A and B are shown apart, each in its own frame.
Chain A
Amino acid sequence: MYQTTYHRASSVDEAVSLFGKSSEAKFLAGGQTLLPVMKQRLASPSDVIDLGKIKELQGVELSGDVLTIKAATTYYDIMTNADVKKAIPAIAHLTSVLGDPAVRYRGTIGGSIANNDPAADFPAALLALGATVKTNKRSIAAEDFFKGLFTTALEDGEIITAVSFPVPAKAGYEKMRHPASRFALTGVFVAQTKSGEVRVAATGASQSGVMRVPAIEAALKANWSPSAIDSVSISASNLLADIHGTAEYRANLVKVMAQRAVTAAG
Chain B
Amino acid sequence: MSTVKLTVNGKAVAVEVEDRTLLVHLLRDHLNLTGTHVGCDTSQCGACVVHLDGRAVKSCTMLAGQADGASVTTIEGIAKGDELHPMQAAFRDNHGLQCGYCTPGMIMSAIDIVQRHGGQLDEGTVRQELEGNICRCTGYHNIVKAVLDAAGRMKVSQAAE
Residue positions of A touching B, CB distance < 8 A? 1-6, 8, 28, 31-32, 35-36, 38-39, 48, 50, 52, 76, 99-103, 105-106, 180-182
Contacts and interface: CB of A to CB of B under 8 A. Distances in A.
B87 interface: no
B101 to A, nearest CB: 17
Contacts of A1: 20, 22
Chain B interface residue count: which class? 20 to 34
Interface string B18-45: 1110100000000000000000011110
| Secondary structure of the B contact surface, majority rule | mixed
Nearest to A44: B20
Interface in B30-88: 41-44, 46, 49, 52, 55-58, 61-63, 65-66, 68
B63 A48 contact: yes
Given A6-B63, A50-B66, A182-B131, A102 B20 contact: no
B21 to A, nearest CB: 9
Contacts of B109: 101-102
Given A31-B66, A32-B43, A101-B131, 18 more contacts: A1-B22, A2-B20, A4-B19, A6-B63, A28-B63, A28-B66, A35-B43, A35-B62, A35-B63, A36-B61, A100-B132, A101-B112, A101-B113, A101-B129, A102-B132, A105-B56, A105-B57, A180-B44
B20 A103 contact: no
Contacts of B66: 6, 8, 28, 31, 50, 52
Given A36-B42, A102-B109, A106-B57, A31 B131 contact: no
Contacts of B44: 180-181
B61 A4 contact: no
A100 B46 CA distance: 10
| Secondary structure of the A contact surface, majority rule | mixed
B1 to A, nearest CB: 10
Nearest 6 interchain pairs by C-beta: A100-B132, A6-B65, A6-B19, A105-B55, A1-B20, A102-B58
A76 B109 CA distance: 15
A102 B46 contact: yes
Contacts of B46: 100, 102
Interface of B: 2, 18-20, 22, 41-44, 46, 49, 52, 55-58, 61-63, 65-66, 68, 109, 112-113, 129, 131-132
Contacts of A31: 61-63, 66
A76 B62 CA distance: 17
Given A100-B132, A102-B46, A35 B2 contact: no
A119 B12 CA distance: 41
A41 B55 CA distance: 28
A32 B113 contact: no
A30 to B, nearest CB: 9
A123 B65 CA distance: 29
Nearest to B19: A6
Contact of B18 (A3, A50, A106): A3
A99 B2 CA distance: 31
A14 to B, nearest CB: 16
A59 B66 CA distance: 19
B62 A101 contact: no
A1 B2 CA distance: 16
Contacts of B42: 36, 39
Given A6-B63, A6-B65, A102 B57 contact: yes
Nearest to A3: B20
A93 to B, nearest CB: 14
Query: In the complex, which of the residues B22, B55, B61, B68 has the most CB atoms of chain A within 10 Å of its own CB atom?
Result: B61
Contacts of B2: 6
Contacts of A101: 56, 109, 112-113, 129, 131-132
A232 B152 CA distance: 50
A159 B55 CA distance: 26
